[in-house]
Amino acid sequence: MSAVFDDATAGPRRAPRQALTSWLARVFAACGMPDDDSRLAAEVMARCNARGYETHGVTRVMTYVQKFAAGEINPTPNITFESRDNILVIDGNDGLGQVVGPRAMDRAIDLARDTAFVPCFIRDGGHLGAVGVFPLRAAEAGMVSVLMQATSPVMSLPGSKGRSIGNNPISFATPLPGRDPLLFDMATCVTSRGRVLMAHRAGRDIPEGWAIGPDGEPTTDAEQALLGAMLPVGGPKGIGLAMMIECLAASLSGTFAPTMRGVAPAIGSATMHVGAFFFVVNPERIVGRETFERHVEGWVSQYLTATGADGRLPGQRAADTERERTANGIPIPPEIIAELREAGEKVGEPFDVRLS
């Protein structure tokens, strides 16, 4: 029998996706966002949870509520679009990333219907969350897209005394004929910092090899990891990839993260005032849709044949998870439900989603 959650000792409970989205929209509206933007942000955030991206879904609600209250996020941004030498430049006006991101991507998708290649820069776009959901929008519209975002420095090599660069995420999505889109989404550190945040909230240790403490030594203590730095995936290769993204998403967009101005992020923070670079490609206007799909299906089939029965394409698990959770509800851990209740109380929108 469904009931409003009131037992902090219970395990994860499931929230109906539509009801969770509606509640999130009311919370964002209570923070001063227009109804259309509130609904859009809520849909993006709920989709993250539906696809299994727990670290960038509702677990971020309290952080955003606090940042709205502190004036760090603009609830009514004037998002502008400017074309410069066939490059789309989007100024997010410090709006919520879950609004700026989809607005920017949707504009690029529209332009790509009549243009083969649309490169874009976002400045002052806010924390985008799970960056993969934005190229996914393009793939679902028949386009190919890559998106990357620069973050505040939170990553370093072992032995470092301090954070050297952001764990700058990158994502790629392409449509596949007769299949779910192929979607690749990764931070340039060993794992997302959001997973360390969730471990810290739950009072759990983290695995070895994820992070170093402030002293530069490896740690499994989540709090020390948040005070220290994440470790890059692939060691120096991860650092090199992060530097490429830093150049494209921050230096070329003209957006510099707060820590570049001497402001260190708090343990539970989500970086604001950051930049991104992305592009959208229309296969029809380059090689033709039929040629593109035939070639893609060729290498995808070769990969699946070689990997055997256990073979899985990037993004397939998330797509399967989204279908299952849309049908059966989105699981939310008890500590996050407690945060949602607290966040709702702060803005006058009680967490009234009925859970099973």
> Tens-digit pLDDT profile for the chain (356 aa)?
333 334 444 689 999 999 999 999 999 999 999 999 999 999 999 999 999 999 899 999 999 999 999 999 999 999 999 999 999 999 999 999 999 999 999 999 999 999 999 999 999 988 899 999 999 999 999 999 999 999 989 999 999 988 999 999 999 999 999 999 999 999 999 998 888 988 998 889 999 999 999 999 999 999 999 999 999 999 999 999 999 999 999 999 988 655 444 334 444 455 567 899 999 999 999 999 999 999 999 999 999 999 998 889 999 999 999 999 999 999 999 999 999 999 999 999 999 999 99
Helix, strand and coil content of the chain, in percent to the nearest 5, comes to 45, 20, 35
Q: What are the tokens at 225?
A: 């990891």
Long-range contacts of 340-343 (CB under 8 A, 24+ apart): 340/58, 340/61, 340/62, 341/5, 342/62, 343/27, 343/61, 343/62, 343/65
CA 237 to chain centre: 22
Q: What are the tokens at 153?
A: 């420095």
Global pTM value: 0.90
Cα 257 to Cα 82, 129, 149, 163, 271: the distances in Å are: 22, 15, 11, 13, 7
Task: Scan for tokens 């990997």, then name that residue.
Answer: 307
Other residues' Cβ atoms within 10 Å of the Cβ of residue 344: 22
What is 3-289+315-355's CATH number?
A: 3.30.1370.60
